[in-house]
A = this chain, B = another copy of it.
Amino acid sequence: MPGPVACDVLVVGFGCAGATAAIEAAEAGAEVVVLERASAPGGSSALSGGEIYLGGGTPVQEACGFRDSPAAMLAFLTAALGPHADAEKLRHYCEGSVEHFDWLVAHGVTFKPSLYDAPTWMPATDDGLMWLGENSWPFTDVADPAPRGHRGPVPYYAGKVLMDALVAAAAAAGVVTHTDTRATELVVEDGVVVGVRARRFGDDVEYRASRGVVLTTGGFVDNEQMLSEHAPALLGRGKVSDGLDDGSGIAMALEVGAATRRMHAHETALTYLPALAVRGLVVNGLGQRFVNEDTYPGIVSHRAVEAQPPPYWVVVDETAFEEVPERERWGVRPTHAAEDLDELGAELGMPDGALSATVAAYNRDAERGEDTWFHKDPRWLRPLRAPYAAIDVAAGFHPGDRDSGASGDGVAGFTLGGLHTTPDGEVLTWAGRPIPGLYAAGRSTSGIHGDGYISGTSLGDGTFFGRRAGRAAAGASR
């Protein structure tokens, strides 16, 4: 075994949290080494949609004509990430959001100052701003709506351009990266974490960090054993990950006495097409409507998968289908069609009269311009007329020619629970004491989330608290 590699701050995992931790630590004067298991940096962040949840009055928001405030952002996220979102982390996150925007831009991240103005998983455009449910009920009762999804100037998946910028910024800050290097164990001396043992091209290598180790190893959706023990709702579901989110950092930290928090929490994505759904209805296997179709697609997904009898259907009429531009249909075709709703309902295996009763109630509301059931924005209300079509959401879709990652039932997700940390990334023991020398951020930790999720809050939480962990590890914020 070669002699140990020495540095000031060792970062384990080069996704968005690892990148920002490394940059901040390096800019605070620390010698920083980042270990990455894969052959190149990026992690699950680089494969993601690339939205970062930012607000409180960013230049992009202002350029698009929206006023926002940290208080409105906090009120929305408290509701949307709840119940029981983390109040202290959220407060930091919202109060520091404009500064975080500026920091990202200063480090090469770009956002085009234009709005994509319809519900979607990912715009098929290069617009830099998008709604993530802020303008939908019940959130419109909670805070003045402003769009806060910030994303890079490319169609569909924008995670790659985000990570390209952060990887370049890390290199520019003098961060050293060791790829193909898998940390296997934390090294503890006299109760202080002083480094890690790792495997690199078949060799055992020890890394020593004089100031601190930052775990940014991602969640555990790729570890079926951990899912079974802590987040069984994701067992057998599709994985939103790079395939390496196996909880290795969480496991290493547990071995040295770290505590975890809200390990059951998870994101759920159903492969339904918001552009179609918003123009019609989303119904459960009994033909019942259960959500306003104009809210953040992850909320529709979570409500369906956690609570409603499957299968799930998007029901539209011909006008609604034709209204959606080809490039925003993502290849989705109706799986069933009929002139008559009773016939369509029967084809979908629903109880007699169920679907027609649901559509009749919807149409009555649409005619008077008020959704009395779920308060969908009147902008999207229009009575449906024959011929009707239904789309089985489990049929899936492939935006931008990429696999959605969903399982056979159209469901995919990732984990939100993890190590219990302070807002500065200090990893806590079960008794609530920081473990000296050990920090963590990103999906290896429990972040701002309660039982809810909104796109952009994972990259947002990862980059925001990654920075704080990096600074804390470098000793800059003490």
Q: Which residues of A contact B (CB under 8 A)?
A: 83-84, 228-230, 232-233, 235, 251, 254-255, 257, 259, 261-264, 286, 288, 303, 306-308, 351-354, 357, 361, 364-365, 372-373, 420, 430-431, 450-451
A288–B83 Cα gap in the complex (Å)?
A: 23
Find out whether the CB atom of B430 lies under 8 angstroms from the CB atom of A263.
no
Find out whether the CB atom of A373 lies under 8 angstroms from the CB atom of B286.
yes
A selection of 28 A-B contacts at a CB cut-off of 8 Å is: A83-B233, A83-B235, A84-B228, A84-B235, A229-B259, A229-B261, A230-B262, A230-B263, A230-B264, A232-B451, A233-B451, A251-B430, A254-B259, A254-B430, A286-B373, A288-B288, A303-B307, A306-B306, A306-B307, A307-B307, A307-B308, A351-B361, A351-B365, A351-B372, A351-B373, A352-B364, A353-B364, A357-B357
Q: Which 5 A-B pairs have CB atoms at the shortest separation, nearest pair first?
A: A307-B307, A264-B264, A84-B232, A254-B430, A351-B372
A137–B364 Cα gap in the complex (Å)?
A: 34
Find out whether the CB atom of A232 lies under 8 angstroms from the CB atom of B306.
no
Identify which of A230, A364, A430 gathers the most chain B CB atoms within 10 Å of its CB.
A430
A353–B308 Cα gap in the complex (Å)?
A: 22
List chain B residues, Cβ under 8 A from A229. 259, 261-262, 420
With A232-B262, A262-B230 known as contacts, the answer to whether A372 contacts B352 (CB < 8 A) is: yes
Q: Which B residue's beta carbon lies closest to that of A432?
A: B225
**How distant is A141 from chain B, measured CB to nearest CB, in Å?**
14
Across the interface, A232 reaches (CB within 8 A) one of B232, B259, B352, B450, namely B450
Find out whether the CB atom of B232 lies under 8 angstroms from the CB atom of A83.
yes
A431–B232 Cα gap in the complex (Å)?
A: 19
**How distant is A433 from chain B, measured CB to nearest CB, in Å?**
11
List chain B residues, Cβ under 8 A from A228. 84
**How distant is A223 from chain B, measured CB to nearest CB, in Å?**
13
**How distant is A136 from chain B, measured CB to nearest CB, in Å?**
15
A351–B362 Cα gap in the complex (Å)?
A: 11
Q: Which B residue's beta carbon lies closest to that of A307?
A: B307
List chain B residues, Cβ under 8 A from A288. 288
A430–B226 Cα gap in the complex (Å)?
A: 10
List chain B residues, Cβ under 8 A from A451. 232-233
List chain B residues, Cβ under 8 A from A257. 257
List chain B residues, Cβ under 8 A from A364. 352-353
List chain B residues, Cβ under 8 A from A254. 259, 430
Q: Which B residue's beta carbon lies closest to that of A429?
A: B255
A323–B450 Cα gap in the complex (Å)?
A: 44
**How distant is A113 from chain B, measured CB to nearest CB, in Å?**
38
List chain B residues, Cβ under 8 A from A262. 229-230, 232, 264
Across the interface, A361 reaches (CB within 8 A) one of B263, B306, B354, B373, namely B354
Q: Which B residue's beta carbon lies closest to that of A86?
A: B228
**How distant is A346 from chain B, measured CB to nearest CB, in Å?**
11
List chain B residues, Cβ under 8 A from A372. 351-352
List chain B residues, Cβ under 8 A from A84. 228, 232, 235
**How distant is A317 from chain B, measured CB to nearest CB, in Å?**
21
A169–B190 Cα gap in the complex (Å)?
A: 49
**How distant is A392 from chain B, measured CB to nearest CB, in Å?**
20
A235–B84 Cα gap in the complex (Å)?
A: 8
**How distant is A295 from chain B, measured CB to nearest CB, in Å?**
14
Q: Which B residue's beta carbon lies closest to that of A351?
A: B372
List chain B residues, Cβ under 8 A from A233. 83, 451
Identify which of A84, A228, A229, A351 gathers the most chain B CB atoms within 10 Å of its CB.
A229
**How distant is A362 from chain B, measured CB to nearest CB, in Å?**
10
Across the interface, A353 reaches (CB within 8 A) one of B235, B259, B351, B361, namely B361
**How distant is A350 from chain B, measured CB to nearest CB, in Å?**
9
List chain B residues, Cβ under 8 A from A420. 229
A35–B208 Cα gap in the complex (Å)?
A: 46
**How distant is A413 from chain B, measured CB to nearest CB, in Å?**
14
List chain B residues, Cβ under 8 A from A354. 361, 373
List chain B residues, Cβ under 8 A from A431. 251, 255
A235–B87 Cα gap in the complex (Å)?
A: 15
A263–B84 Cα gap in the complex (Å)?
A: 16
List chain B residues, Cβ under 8 A from A261. 229-230
With A229-B420, A232-B262, A430-B254 known as contacts, the answer to whether A357 contacts B361 (CB < 8 A) is: yes
Q: Which B residue's beta carbon lies closest to that of A358?
A: B357
Find out whether the CB atom of B255 lies under 8 angstroms from the CB atom of A430.
yes
A410–B37 Cα gap in the complex (Å)?
A: 50
